[in-house]
Amino acid sequence: MRQLLLIAPLGNAGLVGRDISFRLPCLGLLRVAALTPPGWGVKIVDEKVEQLDLGQNADLVGITAMTITAHRAYEIADHFRRRGTKVVMGGMHASCLPDEALQHCDSVVIGEAEGLWPGVLADFERGELKPTYQHLNGLPPLDQMPPVNWELYRPKKYLPVHFVETTRGCPLDCEFCAVTNAFGGRYRNRPCDDVLAELRALRPFDGLLTLKNCVFFVDDNIISNRAYARELLTRLADFKIKWFSQASMNIANDLELLKLCQRSGCIGLFIGFESLSAETLRSIGHKPNHPERYLDTVKKIHDHGIGIDASFVFGFDTDDDGVFDRTVDFVLRAKVEVVYFSILTPYPGTRLHSRLRAEGRVLTTDWTQYDTSHVVYRPKTFTPDQLLDGYYRTLKQAYTVPGIFQRLWGTTAWKNFFWPMNFGFRQSAQALWRAYRNGGMRVVASPAAAPGYFTATQPRRTLLRGQPERRLSVAFGESECAKPAANRCSSDA
């Protein structure tokens, strides 16, 4: 039997990383494993929960790469190729920059794995592996996806949550997000029967204090298709699960959907607020958001016992130096349960990346710095250091103990979920703040970089030796946008 080794590499530590381990499962690799035909043995290694044995043997190695993990992915690929092992790469970064990836691997799967992966393996067995594989006649339908085998992850030390996918695609095409480019500009839904069958097959995690029946729906917008969402949420109520997902802000305009979310066990929604400025939102094409309605939106969602994980991005061309204080004031006043701040990051595959490159404002292509905690472009209204300082100051203020209590005290959201999450984020935010104060995260001129480029002074870890630090890294479908990496995974290869 041929052996397939699938690897999710480890990226640099960021907000959800070094000190608190967001050990979230990688749904994309399970999808690739499910697409693998009989006659192959499959092993998955996820570096955020286990160490990769670089001496192990495999007939074929598959490596997924987000931008933040690309450098590590290339190191691993180079290592196995030196040993004579064929390597196939995929994921968001490799799909956006296949020519770059092909400098380190034998083949790149561009886009989603469905409809492609069995052909890749057949070509490999014939010794006819092509440089690239991609869908030429539209994206694949989601109605014939094989079931994933969560038992492959049972021994791994992930957090006790199952990832389930119901939808791919997004028509919004926000400038800083690569989802539309990667998954298409329309929503594609899996049949409800398939989703519910997958939920029935899930086995609760072991452990006396472990959260039971907790599911994260990894869709970019759980209410994208209102008719589909109504059917799914109505039928979901029978499962008695607790679930978390992402949604657009206009969910607050549909009280029926909010009630269905509440009845079906929704404990929280990740919502991209992005900015408090209407001008900024117009400039990036984020149409569903209306800042003058933000407080009312939060109240409506809270009235249904649903917590909010709010995302804000700093560094837009329309931002001014008051954006940091205004944002902290808002999240405290609105009492959002969790807040995620990020520095605008021009990921490959986004319109933002194309524009900033054309304007000569991309400062570095050191992908290890593309973690939303470094400044990798030249801001329009700040210096890089001013933006970095504002970001870290805001992060520290939001996660003080008084700030956490002010946001969470008196809310109706599920306390067993949001209190531990906040103190986990606080631990990580404090570590990042200390690193920043010690000069470890500052943007400085680097003599090793091209003229006009910057690189952070954060030291590099040894990538091929030692026990890796743990960090969030969801791959084979991570959407490269300015929100937590945990909050999107699908199955592009």
Helix, strand, coil % (nearest 5) of the chain? 35, 15, 45
Q: What is the reported pLDDT for 428?
A: 84
Instruction: Characterize 279-294 residue by residue with b for buried, 16 or more Cβ atoms within 10 angstroms of its Cβ, and e for exposed.
Output: ebbeebebeebebeeb
Task: Report domain extents, the chain.
Answer: 2-134, 150-458+470-487
Q: What is the rounded (10 degree) CA torsion for 311, 315, 316, 319?
A: 100
pTM of the shown model:
0.88
Q: Tell me which residues of the chain have a pLDDT lower than 50.
A: 15-21, 444-493
Bridge partner residues of 308 (DSSP): 269
Q: Which residues of 306-336 are buried (b: 16+ CB within 10 A; e: fewer)?
A: bbbbbbbbbbbebbeeebbeebbebbbebbb
Residue 80's contacts (CB-CB under 8 Å, 6 or more residues apart) are 54, 58, 61, 87
Beta strands in 325-400 (DSSP E): 338-343
Q: What stretch of H or E contains 98?
A: helix 98-101
Please give the CATH topology (third level) of the domain spanning 2-134.
Rossmann fold (3.40.50)
Q: Distance (Å, rounded) from C-alpha 223 to C-alpha 227?
A: 9
Query: 3-class SS at 322?
Result: coil
pLDDT for the residue numbered 17: 40
* 292-299 contacts at long range (C-beta below 8 A, 24 or more positions apart): 293/252, 294/249, 294/330, 294/334, 295/333, 295/334, 296/252, 297/249, 297/252, 298/334, 298/335, 298/336
Distance, in Å, from the CA atom of 52 to the CA atom of 46, rounded to the nearest integer, reads: 8
DSSP assignments along 144-160, one per residue = SPPPP-GGGGTTS---S
Structure tokens at 364: 């570095």
CATH number for 150-458+470-487 (one of 3.80.30.20, 3.50.50.60, 2.60.40.10, 3.40.630.30): it is 3.80.30.20
The confidence score (pLDDT) of residue 28 equals: 93
Angle in degrees, 0-180, between the axes of helices 255-264 and 226-236, rounded to the nearest 10: 30
- Tell me how far apart the alpha carbons of residues 254 and 301 are, in angstroms, rounded to a whole number: 10
Place of tokens 């329009």: 380
Residue 90 identity (one-letter amino acid): G
Consecutive H or E run containing 5: strand 2-8
Residue type, position 83, single letter: R
Scored b (16 or more CB within 10 A) or e, 195-213 reads bbebbeeeeebeeeeebeb
The answer to whether the beta carbons of residues 336 and 329 sit under 8 Å apart is no
Counting Cβ atoms within 10 Å, is residue 446 exposed (0-12), middle (13-18) or buried (19+)? middle
C-alpha to C-alpha distance for 176 and 302, rounded to whole angstroms: 28
- Bin 184: left if φ > 0, else alpha if -120 < ψ < 50, else beta: left
